Amino acid sequence: MAKTNINNKQEKTRIIACGMIAREVLAINEQLGTDSFDLKCLPADFHHHPERIAPAMNKAIIRAREEGYENIIVGYAECGTGGKLDKVCEKHGVERIKGPHCFSFYIGNQQFIDRDGDFVTTFFMTDFLARHFENFLIKPLGLDRRPELRDIYFSNYSRVLYLAQTDDRELDKKAEEAAKYLGLKYERISTGYGDLATTLAQFPHRGGI
């Protein structure tokens, strides 16, 4: 994580992000070769509780301002908040990552829009979800206790589409095993960091938000 220069916070960018993309944000920062980003994350399990995102983000932005950060990026897409996250962003004059959810910005938002009809029965997998499949999906859904619920929860899906941010054979294997567990067809595409990378690359050179 980038170290904060207390005397120069106004020149740094605080990214307040979903814990599901923390590893990716840090990797992009390293690729950019800058010390521009200071990352703070909200809990990854807000993915299951989108109603918690906007209130928590509001508090996190206020805290960042109190700590002296002028440049702030909201490291979320819309993520099922029903427009409430956008209201928080507007209130504080900050920007979030464009797109309805992280699956869209990994694929590329425009490509996702163009191909939206192809994804109606798709269950998306990312590096994070492949890495934490049991703790982040199986246990929260109670499938470890009641495996018969699998066919109820996933009956409308036809495939698992693994959006691979990295080329990692171990993660490939985990994603394929997850698809097998869910009883779904497995497909994989390499997306890299998609629009997340291009978005973050712009901010350090924009002189604030």
pLDDT tens readout for residues 36-69: 789 999 999 999 999 999 999 999 999 999 999 9
Greatest CA separation for the chain: 57
Quick one: 172 and 199 in the same domain?
Answer: no
**Is residue 80 domain-resident?**
yes
Q: Round the CA-based radius of gyration of the chain to a whole number and report it.
A: 18
CB atoms within 10 A of CB 75: 28
Chain mean position to CA 182: 22
Among residues 81, 117, 74, 87, the alpha carbon closest in space to that of 100 is found at 81
C-alpha span between 63 and 41 (Å, rounded): 13
1 lies in a domain? no
Helix axes 194-202, 22-32, angle to 10 degrees: 50
Tokens matching residue 177: 């095993």
**Statement to judge: residues 85 and 165 lie in one domain:** no
What three-state secondary structure class fits 174?
helix
State whether 135 and 178 are in the same domain. Answer: yes
Beta pairing class for 122-125 and 95-96: unpaired
> Residue 75 falls within a domain, yes or no?
yes
Say yes or no: 142 and 171 in one domain: yes
Same-domain pairing of 13 and 79:
yes
Establish if 90 belongs to a structural domain.
yes
Note whether 177 and 129 are same-domain residues.
yes
Domain that holds residue 85: 6-100+194-205
Are 199 and 185 contained in the same domain?
Answer: no
Per-residue pLDDT tens digits of the chain, which is 209 residues long: 444 444 455 567 899 999 999 999 999 988 888 777 899 999 999 999 999 999 999 999 999 999 999 899 999 999 999 999 999 999 999 999 999 999 999 999 999 999 988 999 999 999 999 999 999 999 999 999 999 999 999 999 999 999 999 999 999 999 999 999 999 999 999 999 999 999 988 875 443 33
**How many other β-carbons are positioned within 10 Å of the β-carbon of residue 19?**
16
CA 43 to chain centre: 11
Q: How many domains does the chain have?
A: 2
Does residue 179 sit in the same domain as residue 198?
no
> DSSP readout, 124-172?
EE-HHHHHTHIIIIITTTTTTT-GGGHHHHTTT--EEEEEESS--HHHH
Does residue 27 belong to any structural domain of this protein? Answer: yes
173 shares a domain with 121:
yes
DSSP state of 38: E
Examine the domain organization and report whether 152 and 73 are in the same domain: no
Element housing 104 (H / E)? helix 102-107
61: domain CATH number is 3.40.50
